[in-house]
Structure 1
């Protein structure tokens, strides 16, 4: 039994589909099916219920899944930490999504550097989705992101729920709600610009999921490359877009920002690290986060 066989099995359980698992693993479906059957023969048990749709693991399969996840997690952590221990220089590579640069992340990084001058900091821009693999491969040590992505090898701490704002052209009819704020149900028929148009999941899919959670279906949805393009189109009177509150500091001309009244209208800001990573820089970065949030009078889930 090889680690890749365990990875195949875990992915099939989580996706509840051979087809979806094959796509996620970037392998053809027939070889994946053969590997699962081979694993069942080696263990002498049925790992999945025959004919179930979606595919469901048997009781024995679920038990094996829990241990397979633990094995994969420990293997990934051991490999990464050995590389880390073998490193000559004391350094930390921090992954981040670009939108967080408009918020408190720069202050957090600056404070961390001031308090820990012996630690070399390298900032690496990458999406929340890419941060998961980057952490497991040792390309980054911690990551700041916005998506609620889960992986058994990665520990995710929700730092805060940042409110979303609605960006509109200054002469848009919705500007009448500048004082009151708006509900998402009021904008479903507007032209909504979302971003980015990168591989899913991303910030755009999070916004779509928010509408779906409320039982709403936007009728005019357009994805663009990044936030500046979306706001530029808003400034041209072409439509509206939803952005994190901190991004209002971009200062685009002719754009106004409205409060969104739905409780679901927020963007989670999270810190990700390798599961069971006991590196000394982790409590130090958490200390800096708490200090900056306290200074800015912002509530954090770390308290």
Structure 2
């Protein structure tokens, strides 16, 4: 016995007509009559009195009708509740590096929450290096990071190559390059603050790699705990610092920012997921990223790397 057989029977009882019931159920009358006959054969009882117009239910049929209605009602309620529980409990844990809070990540997460209110979003600060193990262990489901890291079990989707800028004190001698831009080869004698002071690889090692790629050796690289400390020291006239261009919105006083002209001077922003993960939230978050990038008129790479 299937639930559809119960629905057929209940509809016939309530419509008091095979013809009207068939119209309401959007099926032909002969198949409906056969299904009712099969149900009677399976139960071993007569549900309707033969030849009656309108259709009249037998005493046994009325007893069965009352319980059939309860079964269908409970099934509908259970289905609805299960769907609600499933929606409420669906949680997506997103790892992120802190510097992306100055980029477009907040807009992306906000849009995702607006479009998919039934999905609970949990944000977890997590360095790019740590995101790989966090994805493997299930601590996070998605990871937004900046480093060029590879792992066979992780799929990395390059979203954007964010340009770097040079943060200086507004009265620094290099301020003459604010409009024209500067090459990294011109700052090798400066005290350059790098960050963060966390296990390698990190953003500091990524900056060092850019110098190495260009065959350059800075004379004085000073590692500090995090970006705010680096910029605070720059604002105090202690040195200079390389930052992603979106971090210039931090708004610390006495700072100026110079575009860096070297093509290699960029920070990749990527989305990392578990390889072979086909979860529905992945295309959903990619759609939100695409929407925000279009709104900000930013080209989205959206390619594996």
Same fold (TM over 0.5): yes
Superposed displacement of residue 302, structure 1: 2.0
The match for 1:157 is 157
The match for 1:290 is 290
Per-residue Cα deviation, 1:142-167 (whole angstroms, up to 9, x for no partner): 00000011001100000000000000
Runs of 4+ in 1 over 3 A off after TM superposition: none
Per-residue Cα deviation, 1:177-209 (whole angstroms, up to 9, x for no partner): 111110000001100000001110000000000
- Computing the radius of gyration from Cα coordinates, the structure with the larger value is 2
Between 1:218-227 and 1:88-97, the stretch displaced more is 88-97
Check whether the contact 2:153–2:274 (CA below 8 A) recurs between aligned residues: yes
The match for 1:272 is 272
Per-residue Cα deviation, 1:115-148 (whole angstroms, up to 9, x for no partner): 0011010000010000000000000000000001
| Residue 244, structure 1, aligned to residue 244, structure 2 | yes
The match for 1:148 is 148
Mapped to 2, the partners of 1:88 and 1:154 lie a distance apart of 27
The match for 1:95 is 95
Superposed displacement of residue 87, structure 1: 11
The match for 2:114 is 114
Gaps of at least 5 residues in structure 2 are 1-85
Mapped to 2, the partners of 1:135 and 1:225 lie a distance apart of 25
The match for 1:212 is 212
Mapped to 1, the partners of 2:217 and 2:227 lie a distance apart of 22
TM-score, normalisation: structure 2: 0.70
Pair 1:153–1:197, CA change in 2 (3 A): same
How many residue pairs get aligned? The number is 218
Alignment of 1:172-187 (within 5 A): 172-187=172-187
TM-score, normalisation: structure 1: 0.71
RMSD (Å), alpha carbons: 1.4
Mapped to 2, the partners of 1:215 and 1:285 lie a distance apart of 38
Mapped to 2, the partners of 1:88 and 1:257 lie a distance apart of 45
Gaps of at least 5 residues in structure 1 are 1-85
Superposed displacement of residue 88, structure 1: 8.7
Mapped to 1, the partners of 2:302 and 2:198 lie a distance apart of 31
The match for 2:301 is 301
Secondary structure, counterpart of 1:168 in structure 2: strand
| Residue 105, structure 1, aligned to residue 109, structure 2 | no
Secondary structure, counterpart of 2:89 in structure 1: coil
Mapped to 1, the partners of 2:299 and 2:247 lie a distance apart of 18
Mapped to 2, the partners of 1:178 and 1:269 lie a distance apart of 25
